[in-house]
Amino acid sequence: MQPFTKLTGVAAPLPMVNVDTDAIIPKQFLKTIKRTGLGTHLFNDLRYAEGGKENPDFVLNKSAYRKAQILIAGSNFGCGSSREHAPWALLDFGIRCIIASSFADIFYNNCFKNGVLPLALPQDQVDQLMELADKGAEISVDLENQIVTAYPSNVHFSFTVDPFRRHCMLNGLDDIGLTQQKAADIESYEERQRNQQPWI
C-alpha cells in the first residue's frame, strides 16, 4: 500500500449526500477481483450518459478536476453495500482522500485498508472547503501533522485520525503489510512446531 503523508492538489466538489457504493461503482462492474481498471467506471452513471458519452456537467468530467486526488463530498458518503470495490475504484481513478462530515462505517474501514484517507470534519468546515474547491482552490491534507489547508486563502482546520490507522497510512501498511512485520516471529513459531510436533 502506498504511504499517505501529505497530499496537495485541486479538490473536486461533490455536494451530494448519501452517495452509496452503487453510485461509486455500479454492480455490473463487480465481476473482477483485480484492484485496477475500476477507475474508468467510477461514478459511472453520473459520469456517462447512455452510449458512454461523458456528462459535461459532472465534476470529474470538467477539465479543472479530471486529475483531482481529493474529493469533497456530502454526508453519509459510501453508504449502501459493503463492496470493497468502491475504494478500489476511487484509488484507481487517482483519488486518495475524501473529505465529508460523515461516512458509512464499512466504507470508512475499507478506505483505510486500501490507502484512501476518509477525513471526517464538522459540516461547517466541509461547507467552507466545498465552496473553496468550487472556486478551484488547492487543498493540502497533512496526515502527519493532522491539518488540512486551503490555498491561497490559507483557511486551515485540524483533524484527528485514530493513532493506529494513522500509523498504518503513514507507513503504507495494509493487513498483509502488518502481518509481514511479524514474519520472523511466524517463521520461528513454525520452526518450533515442526520440531515439537513433526507429525502435523
**pLDDT tens digits for 6-35?**
999 999 999 999 999 999 999 999 888 888
Give the per-residue pLDDT at 156: 96
pLDDT digits (tens, 9 = 90+) for 43-70: 999 999 988 899 999 999 999 999 999 9
CATH class, range 6-172: alpha beta
Give the per-residue pLDDT at 15: 97
CB 91 within 8 A of CB 116: yes
Spatial CA neighbour of 100 closest among 111, 91, 89: 111
> Is the dihedral angle over the CA atoms 134, 140, 143, 148 positive or is it negative?
negative
Q: Which residues of the chain have pLDDT under 70?
A: 175-183, 185-186, 200
Give the per-residue pLDDT at 179: 62
Domain boundaries defined on the chain = 6-172
First to last CA, the chain: 35
Give the per-residue pLDDT at 183: 64
Give the per-residue pLDDT at 52: 85
pTM for the structure as a whole = 0.88
Give the per-residue pLDDT at 134: 95
**3 residue type, one letter:** P
